[in-house]
Structure 1
Amino acid sequence: MTTQVPLDFADGKDPQAFRTIGEVAQAFGLRQHVLRYWEEQFPMLRPLKRAGGRRYYRPEDVHLVAEISRLLYKEGFTIRGARQALGGKKPSAATAGDGAAPAVPVASAASPEPAPASDKAPDSAAVSLAKLRDLRDGLAQALGEG
C-alpha cells in the first residue's frame, strides 16, 4: 500500500515493526477507543491479537488507519462512505440487502452529510457538534415561545 502519510513514530523501532494500539493512536492523534471502534466498523482493519487481547498493528494496518483517518477527517466521508470507498462492508444481519451504491464523498469537510437514522455510527465530531447545536437552538426557541 502506498500512502503519503508520514508514519514517523520516532521510537527507534524498525519501520516494519509491529505497533501497539497506544503507539498507533498517539501517532495519529486519536484515542485508543476510536481505533477499537474502527475495527468494528471496517472489517478489513484486523490487527493481530495476542493473549489477553493485546493488539499489535502490522505496517499494513497502520497504513489502513492512515487511509481511514484521511477519508474521515480530511475528505469528510461518513463511516459508511469510507467503508464503501475502501471496499469493505460492515458484517451484520441488518445489511443483508447489499445495495451496490457507489461511494460518494461529502461535498466538504465543513458540511458533512449526516448519516441516515438507521446508521447508528457517529459521522464525525463536526456533524455531532452541528446536530447538538441545532437541538440546542430548537429547544431555546421552543422554551422562549412557550
Structure 2
Amino acid sequence: MSEDKAAGAFRTIGEVSEDLGLPQHILRYWETRFPQLRPLQRAGKRRYYRPDDVALVRRINRLLNQEGYTIRGVQKLLGTHPHDDAPEPAPIQPQPVVQAPAGLSAAMLAELKRIRAHLSIALVEDRA
C-alpha cells in the first residue's frame, strides 16, 4: 500500500494496480464481472477506489489467483452470479509456493504477475 496516503484515502487505479501487481485492465475487467466493485469515476472517467473497493479487489484477487476459483465461482461466493442454481465449482488446488530466484528484479516479478493475470483470464474464458 502507498505509504504516503492515509488508510482511508481514495486510491487511483494505478495505485491499486501497483499495490497488487495487477495490470489496470484486469481491474477494469473485474468491474464488468462484479457489480459490487464500483469505484468512483470523476471527470475523464478517472477511477478512485474507496477503502472498501480496495478490500474487495484484494479479496477477488486472493480468490482468483491464490485459491484457484474461477470468475463464476467468485461471483457465486459474492452473491452476484446470474445462474445461482448452477453447481458451485470446486477450487483448483493451489501449487506450493516457490521462492523467487535471488536475482529476480521487481520489474521482472511485475511482468510475471502480469502474464499470470492474462493466463488466469484466458483460463476462465476457456472454461466458460
Q: Provide the TM-score with structure 1 as the length reference.
A: 0.62
Match for residue 68 of structure 2 among 76, 83, 107: 76
Relative to total residues, which structure has the larger helix share, 1 or 2? 2
1:56–1:127 CA distance, 2 compared to 1 (3 A)? closer
Structure 2: where are the runs of 5+ without partners?
96-116, 124-128
1:9 matched to 2:24: no
Cα distance change on mapping 1:42 and 1:72 into 2, 3 Å: same
Residue in 2 aligned with 1:66?
A: 58
Greater relative CO (CA pairs within 8 A, separation 6+): 2
**Closer/same/farther in 2, CA of residues 33 and 102 from structure 1, 3 Å limit:** same
Q: In the aligned structure 2, how far is the partner of 1:83 from the partner of 1:61?
A: 16
Shift of 1:128: 4.4
Q: 1:41 to 1:60 in 2, by over 3 A?
A: same
CA distance in 1, matches of 2:16, 2:85: 32
Match of 1:85 in 2: 77
- Whether the aligned pair in 2 keeps the contact of 1:78 and 1:124 (CA below 8 Å) is no
Change (3 A) 1:13 1:77: same
The one-letter code sitting in structure 1 at the alignment partner of 2:5 is K
- Structure 1's 87 and 23: CA in aligned 2 closer, same or farther, altered over 3 A? same
Give, as a single letter, the amino acid of the residue that structure 2 aligns with 1:9. Answer: S
Structure whose CA Rg is larger: 1
Give the fraction of aligned pairs with identical amino acids, expressed as a percent. Answer: 51
> Which ranges in structure 1 are unaligned for 5 or more consecutive residues?
1-7, 90-94, 111-122, 130-146
The one-letter code sitting in structure 2 at the alignment partner of 1:108 is Q
Distance (whole Å) between structure 2 residues aligned to residue 58 and residue 99 of structure 1: 28
Equivalent pairs counted in the alignment come to 102
Partner of 2:39: 47
- Map 1:1-146; keep pairs closer than 5 Å: 8-10=1-3, 12-89=4-81, 98-101=83-86, 103-110=88-95, 125=119, 128=122
Whether contact under 8 Å (1:84, 1:102) holds in the other structure is: no
